Amino acid sequence: MDYFPLFIDLKNKNCLVVGAGEVAARKIELLAKAGAIITVVAPEISNNVTQLAANNPKLEIIQKDFSPEDIAQQRLIISATNQATINALVAETADTHNIPVNVVDNPGLCSFIVPAIIDRSPVIAAVSSGGTSPVLARLLRAKLESLIPPAFGRMAQLAEKYRALVKEKINPPAQRRIFWEKILQGSIAELFYSGKEAEAEARLKDAILNSPDKLDNTGEVYLVGAGPGDPDLLTFRALRLMQQADVVVYDRLVSDGILELVRRDAEKIYVGKQRDNHSLAQESINELLARLAKSGKRVVRLKGGDPFIFGRGGEEIETLVEQNINFQVVPGITAASGCATYAGIPLTHRDHAQSCTFITGHLKDNTVNLNWQQLAVPRQTIVIYMGLVGLEIICKSMIQYGAAADLPIALIQQGTTHNQRVITGTLSTLPDKLKNQSIHAPTLFIIGTVVSLHNTLKWFQADSTPEEY
């Protein structure tokens, strides 16, 4: 171990920063967050440092060159200048007086290094590469940021509030550890993270006073939007819940890459639907979620796109509400937004569309019942989910009700994934163009003059066959 990891209390302690450029400003901000009394010594002061001083009464600027006398009474020193001789003098002086010193980007002159920080105060995590690769440390920090909820610090404060009571009521220490593990990884913590802090605290107190050895193991359901396909588009909350779920109930539109991020030992239950081929009826899915939660499982209901946009998420949580089962809903990037963005087709644009309408193109009785007069109005964008089978009817109906026959339309197949394919045409030409094509779900259609921007704005390079126009 090259460095001993140590957290130091700097509240109202004197700290010196030598230098006042942009790098120094970042260090000053960190020291200020720790509550330090900061002295900045530098012959030239950047605007950022001047602004920091204006907003912080604990920050004093002394505009002059550094001299060894400046280190008097300092608890910690940071040198952030671009002058090697000054940095060396600061390090030598600090070492002589046994004061911890950090010289930015020069590990050889440092007695301590500043790690990449994950701040969930009072919980603090730090990542260091020993000064060898600060970029690598920041990348590791970014991974940890995705796993630690923003409310983690407040949860720690709640635990501190009841720590003495738990110690009084639960013995021996091993049982206290098990109790806290169940609290901090279970339904009470998830209530807290989802904003139900008062209810979480009430249940925690009840568990301590009445049944610490029989902690409520009631399960819960997380209705999670998996987005349009690219795993990078998952939210932090979605990823965290996927990695702690006991069971994952997933749809056909959830990509393999996203399923790879689920906890390895979680049970996976497929409930996907295809046209006229449902592996499980919707009512059965609703009851399955409730039954799993009642058995004590943490259940992720993983749905492509967003669960509240043509995802029947509302129907599923209605059943959970009726049966008094805890749940969370985690939004995902809906296919309209994700696929349009990856295809370089803005859904709104000042010169093309001032509104956007999402519709489902499902056939019912061999027709599509929609408000055609409204959809045929110009200067808007129409996004069609599940419209492949009914496309010909949709295009003919729009032309019949006044839309221009040459109005641009795009098919986006497997959008945001490496298999993405974009085929463009017009209302009058695209249905015939697709008849000899091998099209694979999921698909999405975008209608409107915004489609004409695709050639100019496309940026995502897929691995599949070239786009067709």
pLDDT of residue 307: 95
Query: Which range, of 169-178, 228-237, 434-443, 451-460, averages the lowest pLDDT?
Result: 169-178
* Reported confidence tier of residue 215, pLDDT bands at 50, 70, 90: low
What letter would DSSP give residue 114?
P
Check if the beta carbon of residue 116 is closer than 8 Å to that of residue 85: no
- Given 13, 169, 268, 273, which residue is catalytic? 273
pLDDT of residue 279: 65
* Reported confidence tier of residue 131, pLDDT bands at 50, 70, 90: confident
Beta pairing class for 267-270 and 116-120: unpaired
Does 251 qualify as catalytic in the annotation? Answer: yes
Architecture of the domain whose range is 336-457: 2-Layer Sandwich (3.30)
268 φ, ψ (degrees, to nearest 5): -115, 125
* Reported confidence tier of residue 149, pLDDT bands at 50, 70, 90: confident
SS3 content of the chain, % helix, strand, coil (to 5): 40, 20, 40
DSSP-H helix ranges across 329-406: 335-342, 372-375, 391-400
* Reported confidence tier of residue 186, pLDDT bands at 50, 70, 90: confident
Q: Which residue has the tokens 């974009």?
A: 422
**Mean per-residue pLDDT over the chain, rounded:** 91
Does 119 qualify as catalytic in the annotation? Answer: no
pLDDT of residue 274: 62
Q: Which residue has the tokens 């987005």?
A: 227
The Cα 343–Cα 422 span in angstroms is: 7
The Cα 213–Cα 314 span in angstroms is: 36
* Reported confidence tier of residue 173, pLDDT bands at 50, 70, 90: confident
Residue 11 scores a pLDDT above 60: yes
Q: What average pLDDT does range 348-377 have in this prediction?
A: 89
Considering the entire predicted model, what is its pTM?
0.72
Residue 143 scores a pLDDT above 90: no
CATH topology of domain 220-333: Cobalt-precorrin-4 Transmethylase; domain 1 (3.40.1010)
Sequence-ordered list of residues with C-beta below 8 angstroms from that of 368, at least 6 positions apart, any chain: 361, 362, 390, 393, 394, 397
pLDDT of residue 194: 85
The Cα 421–Cα 443 span in angstroms is: 9
Q: What average pLDDT does range 325-336 have in this prediction?
A: 94
What letter would DSSP give residue 172?
S
Secondary structure of residue 443 in the 3-state scheme: strand
Maximum Cα–Cα distance for the chain, whole Å? 88
Architecture of the domain whose range is 14-114: 3-Layer(aba) Sandwich (3.40)
Check if the beta carbon of residue 116 is closer than 8 Å to that of residue 128: yes
pLDDT of residue 28: 97
Beta pairing class for 381-385 and 443-447: antiparallel
Check if the beta carbon of residue 448 is closer than 8 Å to that of residue 424: no
Beta pairing class for 408-413 and 421-426: antiparallel
Segments making up each domain of the chain, as ranges: 14-114, 152-210, 220-333, 336-457
Name the nearest CA neighbour of 330 among 189, 222, 257: 222
The Cα 378–Cα 355 span in angstroms is: 10
**What percentage of the chain carries pLDDT values higher than 90?**
68
* Reported confidence tier of residue 172, pLDDT bands at 50, 70, 90: confident
Residue 334 scores a pLDDT above 60: yes
pLDDT tens digits, 53-98: 999 999 999 999 999 999 999 999 999 999 999 999 999 999 999 9
pLDDT of residue 337: 97
- Given 27, 251, 303, 306, which residue is catalytic? 251
pLDDT tens digits, 256-270: 999 999 988 899 999
Residue 362 scores a pLDDT above 90: no
Please tell me which of 312-316, 400-404, 433-437 the model is most confident about, judged by mean pLDDT: 400-404
First-to-last C-alpha distance (Å) of the chain = 59
- Tokens encoding 74: 């300092």
* Reported confidence tier of residue 212, pLDDT bands at 50, 70, 90: low
- Tokens encoding 304: 């492509």
Sequence-ordered list of residues with C-beta below 8 angstroms from that of 100, at least 6 positions apart, any chain: 8, 75, 76, 77, 94, 111, 112
